[in-house]
Amino acid sequence: MANITIDEKVCKGCGLCANACPKNVISLSKHRMNANGYFVAEKVNPQNCIGCAFCAIMCPDCAIEVEK
């Protein structure tokens, strides 16, 4: 069981994490914004996460922490 934690305060909604994820765990929110007005990345299929950390490697803002 692996888990990711997304820091929504830092997220800029660029979607590079969602693009890198091989298991479609992450998707950009269609409704929820952070204080900067970005549609944040959120977990949609957390049970599929394998802890590969591809999302964290591609995140330009170090907003993702990965546990395994």
Partner 1 sequence: MAKVFTKTKMLTDVHMHYCPGCTHGIVHRLVAESIEELGLQDKAIGIAPVGCAVFAYDYFNCDMQEAAHGRAPAVATGIKRCLPDRLVFVYQGDGDLASIGMAETVHAAARGEHITIIFINNSIYGMTGGQMAPTTLIGQKATTCQNGRDPAVNGYPIRVCELLATLDAPYYIERVSTQDVKHVLAAKKAIKKALRFQAEGRGYSFVEVLVSCPTNWHMKPVEALRFMAEETSRTFPLGVFRDKSEGREEK
- The binding site for partner 1 (CB under 8 A) comprises 1-3, 9-10, 12-16, 19-20, 38, 51, 53-54, 56-62, 64-68
Whole-angstrom distance, CA of residue 56 vs CA of residue 49: 13
Residue closer to partner 1 (CB basis): 24 or 61? 61
Structure tokens at 67: 């546990």
Query: Least distance to partner 1 from the beta carbon of 60, Å?
Result: 3
Residue closer to partner 1 (CB basis): 16 or 42? 16
Structure tokens at 36: 């900067």
Structure tokens at 22: 């091989």
Query: Least distance to partner 1 from the beta carbon of 45, Å?
Result: 18
Instruction: Give the ranges where the chain is alpha helix by DSSP (H).
Output: 16-20, 54-58
